[in-house]
Amino acid sequence: MLQTERGFTLIEALFALSILSIILLLIPRQQVEQIEKLELQHFFDTLEMDVLYLQSTAGMQENDIPYVLKFNPDSYSIVLDRFREIKREYPAQFSLVTSFPKNVEFYISGVIKNPQTIRVSLAGEPYQIVFPLGKGRYYVEKR
C-alpha cells in the first residue's frame, strides 16, 4: 500500500477531535449567558411598560381609584381595582434586597404618590430601582 493511501494517524484524529470538543463545549456557555441577559432586559422592558400603563391609566381616570404597583418577594403585581390584578414573576437571577418595599401608588394625574428606592440584585450585581417624585418614570441604576 502506498504512503498516501493509508489515511490519518491516531494522533492526528485525536487532535482534531479534541479541538472539535473544545469548540462544542464553549458555544453553549456563551448562549446561556446571552439568554440570561435577554431575560433581564425583557423583565425591565415589561416593568417599564407596566409603570407607563399605570401612569397613563391613572391620568385618564376621573374617579379616585388607586392604581398600585406591589412588589412581593417572588413577583410584582399591578392592582387596577379590587377585582383586577396582574401578577408578573421575577426572572431566576432577580432578587429583592429591600425587605418590605412600599407599594408604588399613582395619583389621578399619574404622579407617583410615594417616591422610593427599591434595592435589588440581578445575577449577583446590586441595582436600585428608583421611583422619583413627580410625573417622571422610574429608572434603574447600578450601585
Q: Please state, in angstroms and rounded to a whole number, the distance separating the CA atoms of residues 107 and 61.
A: 10
Residue 119: CB partners within 8 Å, gap ≥ 6?
96, 97, 98, 126, 127, 128, 143
Q: If residue 117 lies in a helix (H) or strand (E), which one and from where to where? A: strand 116-122
pLDDT score at 5: 65
The domain over range 9-142 is classified in CATH as 3.55.40.10: yes
Under 8 Å between Cβ of 68 and 114: no
Residue 114 near residue 102 (C-beta atoms within 8 A): yes
Bridge partner list, 54:
none
50, 69 contact by CB (below 8 A): yes
pTM attached to this predicted model: 0.73
Say how many C-beta atoms besides its own lie within 10 A of residue 31's C-beta.
9
Do 121 and 114 form a contact (C-beta atoms < 8 A)?
A: no
**Size (the chain), residues:** 143
Determine contact, residues 120/96, Cβ cutoff 8 Å: yes
Q: What does the pLDDT read at residue 58?
A: 81
Half-sphere exposure of 85 (CA within 13 A, CB side): 11
pLDDT of the residue at 88: 93
10-residue mean pLDDT profile of the chain (143 residues): values are 68 90 82 82 90 84 81 89 88 85 84 88 88 81 86
Q: What is the pLDDT of residue 94?
A: 86
